[in-house]
């Protein structure tokens, strides 16, 4: 869909919700609607998008040359180093606005300043307006997510031939980052490498002190951004043959992930995707060892709506893209997770990741 089409849909939703003006700064909503990404710095960049009438991008003069001009979408208002950009934005919305939606990631300092500048306005989250639109990926977006998924699939597959033993978690982390970049990602967003007991912490940070050794089960969870869309995959590696206990627990994990993916049909509430994976793990007696939700939406952000979590009754729509990533963790011992990105379609759930899902036995 074009930027213009997206803005039209956003405005329709603003009407539905009674939002008079949308304010977007740092974060993915602004590039989603305009192609321009604000620099995450102290100089305010803000799109002022009224429900009707022209949108204006307020931008520091210094950064104005970075903006690709799209007069059909927005005008450009620059401010000088000694101007007050909050006063500028406040002046634009004061005329008419009462209900203002502001980008979820906007810095609190700017929201506080704006609230003081336009005390009669009621502020709410921009995601209430934009998220339901962003959640539905169109064909181009699914294609971009698929390319990113296949890039990390290649990395996951190639890592099966790599030696892990004798290297630190940090060394393997760096190799993952290098390989993601070599595979076409413009940036790595994270690359968790967790060996043995370290994998019992779901968000473990790779260390330069933990050397991977024979008998270690190693969790690799990595992803980045490619052409503006994110990848995210988790695969397990074992140095040498895994013991039966690891194989047995892993079989439960594979079945749980399969169950979660199968449940992800159009119309199913998000929380049921979580429950479908969780019940398999609980039935095997490991319910206490699965300590997180089963998945998160993915797109321009590594984590975005919709979340596959108990309490989220939103029904899946065609074009929703999200992770299905159950995990089983034994504190002080070991941990495992298996993750693919899935898209809901009218033909059923489609996994974007195709790398082998068994435990890779490495040297």
Site residues (vs a second copy, CB under 8 A)? 39, 41-42, 61-63, 65-66, 81-82, 102-112, 123-125, 127, 200-205, 291-293, 296, 303-304, 307, 309-311
Q: How far is the CB of 28 from a second copy (least distance, A)?
A: 12
- The CA–CA distances, whole Å, from 189 to 38, 177, 301, 359 equal 18, 9, 10, 24
Which H or E element spans position 167? none
Looking at the DSSP bridge assignments, the partners of residue 337 are 327
What distance, in Å, lies between the first and last C-alpha atoms of the chain? 47
Q: How far is the CB of 247 from a second copy (least distance, A)?
A: 25
Q: How many CA atoms does the CB half-sphere of 178 hold within 13 Å?
A: 8
Burial of residue 268 (CB within 10 Å: 0-12, 13-18, 19+) is middle
Residues 6+ apart with CB under 8 A from 61: 78, 79, 80, 81
Q: How far is the CB of 200 from a second copy (least distance, A)?
A: 8
Nearer Cβ to a second copy (127/268): 127
The closest of 172, 173, 174, 181 to 151, measured between CA atoms, is 181
> Contact 37/30 with Cβ under 8 angstroms?
yes
**Helix, strand or coil, per DSSP, at residue 83:** coil
Nearer Cβ to a second copy (40/243): 40
Nearer Cβ to a second copy (153/304): 304
Q: Can you tell me the distance from the alpha carbon of 85 to that of 230, in angstroms, rounded to the nearest whole number?
A: 32
Nearer Cβ to a second copy (204/238): 204
Nearer Cβ to a second copy (95/125): 125
Q: How far is the CB of 301 from a second copy (least distance, A)?
A: 9
Q: How far is the CB of 291 from a second copy (least distance, A)?
A: 6
Nearer Cβ to a second copy (1/181): 181
Q: How far is the CB of 322 from a second copy (least distance, A)?
A: 13
């Amino acid at each position: 869909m074009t930027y213009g089409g997206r803005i039209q849909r956003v405005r329709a939703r603003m009407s539905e919700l009674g939002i008079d003006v949308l304010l977007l700064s740092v974060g993915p909503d602004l590039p989603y609607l305009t192609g321009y990404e604000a620099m995450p710095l102290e100089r305010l960049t803000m799109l002022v998008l009224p429900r009707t009438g022209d949108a204006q991008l307020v931008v520091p003069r210094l950064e104005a040359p970075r903006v690709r001009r799209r007069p059909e979408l927005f005008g450009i208002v620059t401010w000088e180093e000694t101007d007050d950009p909050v006063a500028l934005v406040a002046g634009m919305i004061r005329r008419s606005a009462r209900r203002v939606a502001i980008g979820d990631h906007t810095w609190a300092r700017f929201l506080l300043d704006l609230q003081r500048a336009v005390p009669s306005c009621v502020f709410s989250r921009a995601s209430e307006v934009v998220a339901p639109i962003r959640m539905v990926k169109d064909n181009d977006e699914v294609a971009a997510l698929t390319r990113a998924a296949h890039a990390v699939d290649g990395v996951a597959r190639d890592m099966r031939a790599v030696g892990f033993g004798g290297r630190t978690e940090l060394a393997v982390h760096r190799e993952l980052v290098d390989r993601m970049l070599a595979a076409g990602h413009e940036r790595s967003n994270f690359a968790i490498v967790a060996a043995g007991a370290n994998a019992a912490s779901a968000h473990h940070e790779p260390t330069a002190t933990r050397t991977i050794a024979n008998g270690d089960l190693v969790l690799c969870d990595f992803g980045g951004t490619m052409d503006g869309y994110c990848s995210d995959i988790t695969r397990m590696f074992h140095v040498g043959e895994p013991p039966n206990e690891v194989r047995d627990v892993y079989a439960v994990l594979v079945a749980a992930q399969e169950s979660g993916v199968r449940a992800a049909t159009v119309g199913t509430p998000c929380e049921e995707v979580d429950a479908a994976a969780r019940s398999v793990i609980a039935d095997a007696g490991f319910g206490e060892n699965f300590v997180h939700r089963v998945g998160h939406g993915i797109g321009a952000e590594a984590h975005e709506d919709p979340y596959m979590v108990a309490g989220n009754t939103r029904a899946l729509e065609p074009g929703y893209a999200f992770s299905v990533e159950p995990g089983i963790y034994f504190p002080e011992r070991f941990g495992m997770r298996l993750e693919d990105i899935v898209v809901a379609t009218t033909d059923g759930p489609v996994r974007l990741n195709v790398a082998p899902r068994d435990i890779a036995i490495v040297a």
